[in-house]
Structure 1
Amino acid sequence: AAMSLRLTDIALRPTRRGPASARMKQLPSSNISVVAIQFAPPAQSNSAASSPGPINVRPATGVRRRSQSMNANSPVESAISFPDRTKVERTDRKTVVNLSIGSRSGSVSVFRPFPLKFSEEMRMSSTTVPPASGVPSTRVMRVFGAHPYHTDGDLLALCFASDGALWSVEEPGVVRRWDLDGRRQIGWHHLEELATLWAFSPDARRLAAASDDLAVWESATGQMVASWPQPCWVTAVAFQPNADVLAVGYDDGAVRLWDWPNQKLLQVIPAHDSAVSALAFSADGLRFASAGEDRAIHLWEAKTARPLGSLIGHTDRIPGLVWHPDGRRLYSAGWDTTARVWDVDTCEPIILLNSHASQVHTLVLSGDGNLLACADSANTIHIWDTTRNREVSVPPPQGREIRALAFNPDGRRLASGGAERIIHLWDSEKAQNDARQGDSQTTRTCLALSPDSRRLATLGAGATLGIWETKDATSGPELQDAGALRAFAASPDGKWIAGSRVVQEPTLALWDAVTGRQVALLEGQSGPVTALAFSADSCLLATGGPRRGDVWLWNIPEGAPALLLPCAADDCSVEALAFHPVKRVLAVGGVDWTAASSLLEGCVALWDVGQRRQLAVFRGGAVGLAFHPNGRRLAVASLVQTVRVLDLDDNALAAEWPAHNDAMTCVAYSPDGALLATGGDDHTVRLWDAETGVARAVAELDTQVKALCFSSDGRRLYTGNGNASCYELDVPGLLAEGV
């Protein structure tokens, strides 16, 4: 029987005790949706249906060999799911996969199976996209422009120490110390892998780690100073300031206060009707607040556990709480898209901060309480002046989920981090200035190589263009008066770099690529420019952006505009530009972001710029373009995971195939035209036979891939990454490894 099921994001970890295949977690049946990949056989009899039964895991190809058997408590198991997004732990050719089992009663059990042999017969994917196999480190030949505060795992918590050093903790249990003035890491320790929850003490000296037990670590030494089991799963932890007390929340709704050096239980409080979602102590440590999945906030006296009042108003989950230093106000973050300010004496709301358009899931106050920063599920941070109750800054959105925020001791710096695996630092004053300019368009990731491939130019999320020597990754010349750039392009003859500046007017500037000297300002085009391309003879520059969809063409020898193509992509936002390798034909790729299905809507338009006429229009959104070296085909990257190849002789679609498991962002042909490279948000680069579309190689990276560029001999492939770095990949090695 067919069943309609919906995916719910659930992050679970195994316990630190018990057998390898023990159940990690059983979820209640209320409001839980399950993805069914395979249905288990129905119960054979009434007696079998009323007692726990075995679940057999078999290879996807149907090989008649039982790989594993596990027991679940639900009488009838009706759905089995290997979550696509589960992180797979792989050593050599073995893999460990989390298994979710859904029952007809609506409950979900999540198991940690024994390690399974990773072989062709164990592939679970039904898509035609080859699964990523992972790139050995030897295939990444060099790294350019790596972010100084880059981590290996998703960031989970941040905290500044009194000396200004920043502490971070990431999956899987790695704590790092950062010198922000020196832009470097000055210490790290690997603590443990199985904790699901981490919390720093206010002074960053200690770190609590929890799952179904609780441990306290010294941040500086990486030494465990306490560890003891817990009665049930831990969902929230907070250190009491200036005391050796931990407040711990559980999934049964209770809050326990522990004298952690002695593992002595001080108080047990039946605080909530469902799991505790957040805890926070006041600055003096005399009171604390708890929030629960019941959408209520309760105030407590820390010493006696006496209830002091309840704060009611949020209509969805409350994942974050923070007290003002004066102890009179409490701030809360809610999945109802609001942050709220409460008077703790009257238990009444003071202000509703509702500038967010999505769920607010973390917040932090500066040390003096004058600034509040909130992060939401749109990966955006909003900074508020609490003295005037007004929003003062919205830094540019980050590429992935923000999970942690921290102000430095003087409140002038805000650190943010999360799934992007980069710690971003925001200057409060500069962020305010940027916000007043009213332009928060994000920087495009761009790459360009010199004709001899000896120099590489990169632009990433840091909005600073870097020029590198490819032989040793050393820095080259800086561009004069460049400042922050939105996008750039390099001329094929290697003489020029054209860039779109974020702040300065005029927006467009031209530099000598060898010396970095600014040689011209291109005046006339207004608004942000996010796409640039040089013609094959390096005499023309095409520029476009999100506003109006116009494309300007510039005569480079004269430094003046030569042609304006209004609505060059049929009223779409201009997302990509590419010139024909021989003819003066310009391809313009656009996306209609106003359409209901904007990922699909848009077009690719071909223009004869010499004759000033449109040659053809191909429907379908485009964010990346690449001409085949012979000029007869055009590869198109779109956000719908497929690559399209257009036949320019017949002005028709020549081929289309699924290329990625997430948004596809970029394409590039090898110099000989034999290979087509594609990159995407699924953290992979894929190499295809350009003629047949057959997959030749898959490179799985640790970051999203936003731009691609082959070396002149085709033996190296450069990737512009979502974490602002650039990788040099060994193409022959990847091809030898295959898919």
Structure 2
Amino acid sequence: MEGEDEGSNVEFHEDEEIIEVIELNDGDPSPEDVASELEDIEVADGDHGASDEEWETEDEGIDETTEPMQDDSEVTFSKHSGLVFCVSLDPKNNTLAVTGGEDDKAFVWRVSDGELQFEITGHTDSVVCASFNHESSLVATGDMNGIIKVWRVESKEEIWSFEVGDLEWLDWHPCAQVLMVGTTQGSSWMWKIPSGECKTFQGPSCPSTCGKFLPDGKRAVIGYEDGTVRFWDLKQGNAIHVLKGHDGHLGSLTCVAVNKDGSLVLTGSVDSSTKLLNTNTGKVVGVFLIEGKPPRKPETDEEEEEKEFVSVESVAFCNVLPLIAIGHLNGMLAIYDISTQTLRHHCQHETGIVKVLWEENSPLVYSCSMDGTVRLWDARSGKLVNKYGGHTAEILDFAINREASVMVTAAGDGKAKVFCLQRPDR
């Protein structure tokens, strides 16, 4: 495998290769062609937003210690009777949200007023995955027992279901009605929806803990509990790059992110390290560590593990500047410049960070934490721009729309909330 040969040096290389846009094959096939063959898909680069100069403004930040504790949300959805584990916004219209919870239920509801559109029935355990497809026509949900449901949004009816082993993650294809999931058995499954035609991708004999389609729609990156990372060719069904040992992680992967043009991937692990990978070569081109400490394999003793290891919980790429965000279990949000592999800012939560998200077209990044708040940071200055509160328990997931005008959160208090993202510059 390419990922196992000599170029496994984990030192950062200032090489233009890692930041250039991958040139995809020409042609403009229909979505039907993509779904049937998973062949050449033309992906537009799109608008990468304002330049760094356009965003250069003076930002004094806010003093979070003077903020009163209050509910800043506009809408509260309260139909769940247990923890709400996951939330997704429909990407086409941003009018609907889907949430899944500890009560074995998933709901599709209207963001503007919280009105229930329909309940997704048939789950037998906590619903831990929920997501709309690229055109918001379908919604998929998965529970801890491995039951996966797909419903058509317009008709509010179930069109497909399947049961796999215990579910770890779920992801929709970027431009076709194709769904992929990972399981604790180590295998990943991919189906055309609703026909159910299936491919499986067999990893090592350990859980497939995280995974994502690449933007070209022809490849996927999957991380595993044993610290390995595999890049898969979706048409051929084979692993094109395998990173393990020195190139992989020393502990289970927790998260993966892909940049907008699909040239780079970030992987985070319980071993406290984050790695930057080139998707063309399968090589490690950057390593990000906490205070320069080398990654270490966690021990079984929970107390020792908590003291020595700070798991990476979430990673994300900025679309408009060469920056990444890394959220850690100790509450640290680290902003790095990927071109120099240097720490730009260290932003601190009081409790562990669960997830980080960048705005689509700005250098502003959101982080949610176990303290029940979402914070908004300016990555240029490292200053806190805003803090959104209202939950009485930890936030377990959140989503923002493309325009960065609406945010939906899911929390351990059994509620989902909608926030209007107003800032002084708007």
Query: Normalising to structure 1: TM-score of the pair?
Result: 0.36
1:522–1:616 Cα change, 3 Å: farther
Question: What stretches of structure 2 of length at least 5 have no aligned partner?
Answer: 1-61, 204-221, 230-247, 290-310
2:260 alignment partner, one of 540, 564, 581: 581
Measure how far apart 1:449 and its partner are.
Answer: 3.3
Distance, in Å, in 2 between the alignment partners of 1:675 and 1:663 is 20
Measure how far apart 1:718 and its partner are.
Answer: 1.6
Cross-structure match for 2:170: 532
Measure how far apart 1:681 and its partner are.
Answer: 1.2
AA partner of residue 251 (structure 2): C
1:674–1:586 Cα change, 3 Å: closer
Where does 1:188-227 land on structure 2 (aligned, <5 Å)?
Answer: none
Where does 1:438-587 land on structure 2 (aligned, <5 Å)?
Answer: 444-484=85-125, 485-503=127-145, 507-521=147-161, 526=165, 528-537=166-175, 541=179, 543-544=181-182, 547=184, 552=188, 554=190, 556=192, 559-561=197-199, 563=201, 564=203, 565=222, 567-568=228-229, 570=249, 572-583=251-262, 587=266
Cross-structure match for 1:591: 270
Contact 1:536/1:580, CA 8 A, preserved across alignment: no
Contact 2:75/2:418, CA 8 A, preserved across alignment: yes
Distance, in Å, in 2 between the alignment partners of 1:480 and 1:473 is 19
SS state of the match for residue 637, structure 1?
strand
1:574–1:145 Cα change, 3 Å: farther
Sequence identity (%)? 13
For the pair 1:628 / 2:318, whether they are aligned, the reply is yes
Higher RCO structure (Cα 8 Å, ≥6 apart): 2
AA partner of residue 669 (structure 1): W
Distance, in Å, in 1 between the alignment partners of 2:104 and 2:362 is 32
Deviations 1:452-508 (A, max 9, x none): 11101112343421111112211112335344322223323223333332335xx44
Cross-structure match for 2:36: none
Number of residues of Structure 1 aligned to a counterpart in Structure 2: 299
2:68 alignment partner, one of 134, 141, 165: 134
Distance, in Å, in 2 between the alignment partners of 1:674 and 1:495 is 30
Measure how far apart 1:657 and its partner are.
Answer: 1.1
Distance, in Å, in 1 between the alignment partners of 2:283 and 2:162 is 25
Contact 1:469/1:476, CA 8 A, preserved across alignment: yes
Contact 2:266/2:274, CA 8 A, preserved across alignment: no
Measure how far apart 1:562 and its partner are.
Answer: 6.1
Distance, in Å, in 2 between the alignment partners of 1:562 and 1:617 is 30
1:722–1:480 Cα change, 3 Å: closer
SS state of the match for residue 561, structure 1?
strand
1:629–1:603 Cα change, 3 Å: closer
Measure how far apart 1:570 and its partner are.
Answer: 2.9
AA partner of residue 261 (structure 2): V
Measure how far apart 1:511 and its partner are.
Answer: 3.6
Cross-structure match for 1:172: none
Deviations 1:69-97 (A, max 9, x none): xxxxxxxxxxxxxxxxxxxxxxxxxxxxx
Distance, in Å, in 2 between the alignment partners of 1:466 and 1:640 is 32
For the pair 1:709 / 2:410, whether they are aligned, the reply is no
Measure how far apart 1:559 and its partner are.
Answer: 4.5
Distance, in Å, in 1 between the alignment partners of 2:376 and 2:364 is 6
Where does 1:271-310 land on structure 2 (aligned, <5 Å)?
Answer: none
Distance, in Å, in 2 between the alignment partners of 1:575 and 1:656 is 22
Measure how far apart 1:721 and its partner are.
Answer: 1.5
Contact 2:354/2:370, CA 8 A, preserved across alignment: yes
Contact 1:510/1:520, CA 8 A, preserved across alignment: yes
AA partner of residue 367 (structure 2): T
Contact 2:84/2:99, CA 8 A, preserved across alignment: no
AA partner of residue 613 (structure 1): G
Contact 1:686/1:698, CA 8 A, preserved across alignment: yes
The structure number with the bigger radius of gyration is 1
AA partner of residue 581 (structure 1): K
SS state of the match for residue 131, structure 1?
helix
Distance, in Å, in 1 between the alignment partners of 2:84 and 2:270 is 17
1:691–1:540 Cα change, 3 Å: farther
Contact 1:659/1:678, CA 8 A, preserved across alignment: no
Cross-structure match for 1:642: 332
Cross-structure match for 2:48: none
Cross-structure match for 1:686: 375
1:695 alignment partner, one of 366, 371, 384: 384
Contact 1:451/1:712, CA 8 A, preserved across alignment: no
Distance, in Å, in 1 between the alignment partners of 2:192 and 2:120 is 18
Distance, in Å, in 1 between the alignment partners of 2:334 and 2:116 is 36
Where does 1:340-351 land on structure 2 (aligned, <5 Å)?
Answer: none
1:490–1:730 Cα change, 3 Å: same
Distance, in Å, in 1 between the alignment partners of 2:312 and 2:170 is 15
Where does 1:1-150 land on structure 2 (aligned, <5 Å)?
Answer: 130-131=64-65, 133-134=67-68, 136-137=70-71, 139-145=72-78, 147=80
Measure how far apart 1:704 and its partner are.
Answer: 1.8
Question: What stretches of structure 1 of length at least 5 have no aligned partner?
Answer: 1-127, 149-423, 425-441, 593-600
Distance, in Å, in 1 between the alignment partners of 2:366 and 2:139 is 24
Distance, in Å, in 2 between the alignment partners of 1:551 and 1:647 is 34
Distance, in Å, in 2 between the alignment partners of 1:487 and 1:141 is 25
Cross-structure match for 1:292: none
SS state of the match for residue 572, structure 1?
coil
Distance, in Å, in 2 between the alignment partners of 1:551 and 1:654 is 36
